[in-house]
Amino acid sequence: MRQGPLARGEARRFYLFVSPWILGFVLFGGGPIVASAAISFTDWSLLSSPSFVGAANYVKLVQDPVFYTALGNTVYFAAASVGLGVVSTLGLALLLNLPLRGIAAFRTIFYLPSVVSGIATALLWVNILHPDFGMINYLLGLAGIQGPGWLTAEEWAVPALVLMSIWGAGNTIVIYLAGLQGIPQSLYEAAMIDGAGWWRRLRHITVPMLSPVVFFNVVTGFIASLQAYVLVLVMTKGGPANATLLLGLYVYRQAFEYFDMGYAAALSWALFAVVILVTLVQFRLARRWVHYEVA
Amino acid sequence: MRRNTPRLLAYLLLCGGAVVYLLPFLWMVTTALKSGDEVLAFPPEFVPSSFEWHNFPDAWTQLPFTRFLVNTLLITVLAVTGTLVSSILPAYAFARLPARGRGIMFAAMIATMMIPAEITLVPQFLMFTELGMVNTYWPLVLPAWFGYAYYIFLFRQFFRTIPQELSDAARIDGASHARILWSIMLPLAKPAIAAVTVFSVIGNWNNLLGPLIYLRDQDKYTLAIGLSLFQGQYTTAYHHMMAVSTLTIVPIVVLFFLAQKAFVRGITLTGIGGR
């Protein structure tokens, strides 16, 4: 079929309008991605010109104990913050979906932290988590508990970061709320007629109907937290003893502290591989627990 | 009684949760009002013995924060303007202009959303180094003028909710696509524009990595970088750290309250929060 003049005009307009993104894709998206892959096969310290070294950076990577430390920390941090985040934000969303007076104010309170989350709140948490002068150990002390060293203790530093990330995960509450409001009321009415109580309605209607939304939040939550590191860079710089060295932070360290651009690029591809792998596993597992309505 | 018990329990849980979520903010403000000695008192106290309001001007002038504020505002305005222009145009194209290759391009755009920023970090830095743009605002502003996949996606989703008949009628009357976009789509897309503006303002306001990598001279620093210096240099000056932290989140909190509806709409439209 030949295209008429109108359709050709539309197509020309399409390319004109879409051109900022095409340029952006070449300059800041696809271009750098290809460049990054190429750089990962070079030895490049910025001071000298790059030299091709084959897969040397990847060989170095699989033999680098710090890489495995960072990988372990990253997976630990992501799994803990997504896992605990799902429980807390879903629980809050269920409460916030109740038809109660003043519920709008509560909703605002719970997603306020996610809005302001940034360097200011990261410094706030450094302060809150201080072993001696911080709020958390102060409150624990009131309950007669001697709090740990948090960011200064190897075994408590990642849990401390998880705590901060859950506090700032309010945007997932918004998504759960939207999902909850999309569940047809008629299902609940039918269940009530059949005499189903609160727990059975939750178990047999809310949970299966909401499972695609939970799945979405788990997948995007993992993608985001596997890549998180910027605030950690300021809070702990990866310490103590690399206990909070996340993969993204290790890329940053290699690139901007050691100026080893080739190795940094190789590490960033390893991170990408981890993200893809985790996402694929999620989709595989989803068959067992995510329920889709057949339209 | 039977109806009220669950309701009471829900309120109790919500109030408990709200206290947990708000306590850090309260701690931020009370710490900002403590004296330099009191922030290092052990055990700490929640309420300062006296309210040291001068901490705010003291902390603000400890580093040139007014300068940092002006720099941050400049970058934010330039980047947000660019983001809006360069995201709306492709979004309109993806939503309303049929063309060969559109589907593939859209898929490619969605795919870029999944690529970790860490991958493009090194090549982008090398590119801006080659261009001699290190220690300028170009690396922080320029990318914003070439469309962000996430915002294009958000606008495209929104444009698709606007009835096709409206633009078809305007087409028949001879209106150009630029005209349709400007006079029909944009007025109806105000909630999406508000959402992207809020997300983008917050993203630029809080951007730490870009300034950290690209800015060298202190007089070019942004608020985020200025704040991060506290963690390096004045580790024990928690009262000053919290005073400036409080001051930098106040505009964001105000903005959030002004645009709360748009903000929530933006999240639910695409399922992703602001970046």
* CATH numeric code, B56-270: 1.10.3720.10
What DSSP character marks residue B50?
S
- C-alpha to C-alpha distance for A134 and B71, rounded to whole angstroms: 32
Condensed to tens digits (0 to 9), the pLDDT of residues A158-190 reads 999 999 999 998 888 888 888 888 888 899 999
Check: CB of residue A137 under 8 Å from CB of residue A130.
Answer: yes
pLDDT bucket at B47, cuts 50 / 70 / 90: confident
**Contacts of residue A167 in chain B, CB cutoff 8 Å?**
21, 24
* pLDDT score of A2: 54
Check: CB of residue B182 under 8 Å from CB of residue A17.
Answer: no
Cβ of residue A23 closer than 8 Å to a chain B Cβ = yes
- C-alpha to C-alpha distance for A156 and B47, rounded to whole angstroms: 27
Nearest in space to A150 (alpha carbons), one of A169, A168, A164: A164
The strand ranges marked E within chain B are: none
Amino acid letter, A257: E
CA B66, distance to chain mean position in Å, is 20
Domain spans, chain A: 5-39, 56-289
* pLDDT score of B1: 44
- C-alpha to C-alpha distance for B242 and B260, rounded to whole angstroms: 25
Name the residue in chain B with its Cα closest to that of A135.
Answer: B27
Tell me the CA end-to-end span of chain A in Å, nearest whole number: 34
What DSSP character marks residue B99?
-
Condensed to tens digits (0 to 9), the pLDDT of residues A227-284 reads 999 999 999 999 899 999 999 999 999 999 999 999 999 999 999 999 999 999 998 9
- C-alpha to C-alpha distance for A267 and B230, rounded to whole angstroms: 30
Q: Return the SS3 of B196.
A: helix
Report chain B's mean pLDDT, rounded to a whole number.
Answer: 88
Greater confidence (B263 vs A289) lies with A289
* pLDDT score of B275: 36
- Please answer yes or no on whether A11 and B6 come within 8 Å at the CB atom: no
Q: Return the SS3 of A281.
A: helix
Tell whether the model's pLDDT for residue B262 goes beyond 90: no
Give how far Cα B211 sits from Cα of A162, A246, B165, Å: 26, 21, 46
Which of A19, A29, A174 is the closest to B268 by Cβ?
A174
**Contacts of residue B257 in chain A, CB cutoff 8 Å?**
108
- Please answer yes or no on whether A21 and B206 come within 8 Å at the CB atom: no
The token duo for B242 is 């919290």
Give the CATH H-level superfamily of domain A56-289.
MetI-like (1.10.3720.10)
- Please answer yes or no on whether B273 and A171 come within 8 Å at the CB atom: yes
CA B11, distance to chain mean position in Å, is 31
Greater confidence (B102 vs A10) lies with B102
Name the residue in chain B with its Cα closest to that of A170.
Answer: B273
* pLDDT score of B270: 61
Give how far Cα A283 sits from Cα of A20, A60, A71, Å: 33, 31, 21
The token duo for B192 is 């999406």
Condensed to tens digits (0 to 9), the pLDDT of residues B223-256 reads 999 998 888 665 678 899 999 999 999 999 998 8
**Contacts of residue B69 in chain A, CB cutoff 8 Å?**
none
Q: Return the SS3 of A52.
A: strand
Tell the residue number behind the tokens 């990577």, with chain if given. A61
Cβ of residue B274 closer than 8 Å to a chain A Cβ = yes
Greater confidence (B198 vs B86) lies with B86
Other residues' Cβ atoms within 10 Å of the Cβ of residue B172:
8
Which of B21, B102, B271 is the closest to A110 by Cβ?
B21
Domain spans, chain B: 56-270
DSSP B231-268: HHH-TT-HHHHHHHHHHHHHHHHHHHHHTHHHHHHHHH
The token duo for B206 is 């809080």
Check: CB of residue B239 under 8 Å from CB of residue B52.
Answer: yes
What DSSP character marks residue B35?
-
Tell whether the model's pLDDT for residue A104 goes beyond 90: no
Give how far Cα B90 sits from Cα of A18, B107, B156, Å: 4, 14, 8
* pLDDT score of B274: 39
